[in-house]
Amino acid sequence: MSVMQRSHTRAPAEAADVEAGARARALRVPATAWIMGGRLLIVIVLIAAWQLLSGRVVPAYLVSSPSAVAHRLVDLFKTGDVWSDVWITTEELVIGYVIGVVGGVVVGVLLGTSRIAAALVEPLLAALNSIPKIALAPLFLLWFGIGLGSKIAIAAMTVFFVMFYNVYMGMGTIPNGLVNTLQIMGASRQTMVRRLVLPQLTVPILAGLKAGVSFAMIGVVVGEFVAADKGLGYYVRNSTDLFDSPGVYAGIILLMLLVLIGVGLVTLLERRLLRWRR
């Protein structure tokens, strides 16, 4: 077959692929709209049920109501009292999250590449991870004080184990045969990391990044519950002591929004890095 004939044969196939891709994208937009609409409908139904049941079936001082919580949120932002708590919690969350992610990835890669190191260290890390984090909170308060340091340490430790086990297990899934083949072909360490290790670890790392946001927030809130004078966790605990249910729910909603923002940022990164899969 001549070059001209092959080009004529390839052209219809490429046109068909382009048309199929355009058709798939066109179908994806309505499907996404339906999903978003369904989610919004579920949220509206839950809020309406909450409003109707509050004070009628369940005492209002236990569950508050959407209207009372909305009024409390408006008052908090109108007076500006909540901004300092939001900033403190965000700072603890971000710093602890970054430290935990970096530490977990580094240790996971190191133990994943050394069987001796893994045999020595991994059981100790498993034992440390088995300790409830709230039981370690008083120790961190003694070591790092009542300020930001103790909350950052708890959040970092919580995220560290999530990232460590994701990366460590991901390193174990790299085929030894493929590693040996690349070594025989003379691939450098940089080439193996770029072409084999990083693609293999992309999904485990992204999964750890996404799960780590909520785990970091748990660590921060645990620290603020135990001992703090600032932060959204402190605000929720203080509202609980005062039987202020609208304040409790308002604080929980703000904590949830911070986590959703973090997860959304990780999701954008995930879509960008995994674009080659689609």
Separation of alpha carbons 67 and 61, rounded Å? 13
Condensed to tens digits (0 to 9), the pLDDT of residues 175-187 reads 666 666 666 676 6
Q: What is the pTM of this model?
A: 0.80
- Residue with token string 């708590």: 85
Kindly tell me the burial class for residue 42, based on how many C-beta atoms sit within 10 Å of its own C-beta (0-12, 13-18, 19 or more). exposed
pLDDT at 96: 95
pLDDT at 212: 93
Which residues partner with 58 through β-bridges? 54
Average pLDDT by consecutive 10-residue portion of the chain (278 residues)?
47 49 53 80 91 85 87 90 91 95 92 87 90 84 86 93 91 68 65 68 88 93 87 91 91 94 91 70
CB proximity list for 267: less than 8 A, separation 6 or greater = 210
Task: Indicate the average pLDDT of the chain.
Answer: 82
pLDDT at 57: 84
